[in-house]
Amino acid sequence: MPKSPKAKSPTNANAPAAASPKAGNGGNVTEALKQAFTTAPENLDVAAAKVADVIAGAKDANLGAVTDQLNAALVDADAGTRQSACHIVTALAKKKLARLEPYLSPLLGNVLDGYADKKIQVR
């Protein structure tokens, strides 16, 4: 009988680990966005591609929250954050995923406003 609880313990220990990637995907998306927003300008394309890959791979990610974060970044006071957000939106659009389209379209107004930005790097 002592073997049964031990046999169940690893299974139970694996069960939360199996559930954690689902919870972790949203965390991975948030973490990838935070890293991309603080990335140096010369590495923005790589960081944006990483964010796009994480979002494309995270089937259960809260895309509404991603849209909200990107929208906030597109109108942020920091030009570097606005520039990062533009690169991320571009990388997501290049993925051409149908499930992303409704979440990217609300961002287009702020992306177009970026073309009139005072900071050259945002344009």
Backbone angles phi, psi at 59, to 5 degrees: -65, -25
Q: Does 109 fall in a domain?
A: yes
Q: Does 61 fall in a domain?
A: yes
pLDDT tens-place values along the chain, 123 residues long: 455 444 443 443 333 333 333 344 556 888 888 888 888 888 888 999 999 999 888 888 888 888 899 999 988 888 888 889 989 999 999 988 888 888 888 888 888 887 776 776 666
Q: Does 92 fall in a domain?
A: yes
The residue behind tokens 């051409």 is 96
**How far from 69 is each of 12, 17, 76, 94, CA to CA, in Å?**
35, 27, 10, 19
Give me the pLDDT at residue 14, please. 36
Give me the pLDDT at residue 23, please. 41
Q: Does 100 fall in a domain?
A: yes
Q: Does 98 fall in a domain?
A: yes
Give me the pLDDT at residue 82, please. 85
Span 88-98, pLDDT tens digits = 999 999 988 88
Q: Does 15 fall in a domain?
A: no
Q: Does 52 fall in a domain?
A: yes
What beta strand segments (E) does 1-123 contain? none
pTM (2 decimals)?
A: 0.72
Q: Does 42 fall in a domain?
A: yes
Query: Domain span at residue 49?
Result: 26-114
Number of structural domains the chain divides into: 1
The rounded distance, in Å, linking the Cα atoms of 92 and 109 is 16
Length of the chain, in residues: 123
**What's the CA dihedral at 16, 21, 70, 89 to 10 degrees?**
-170
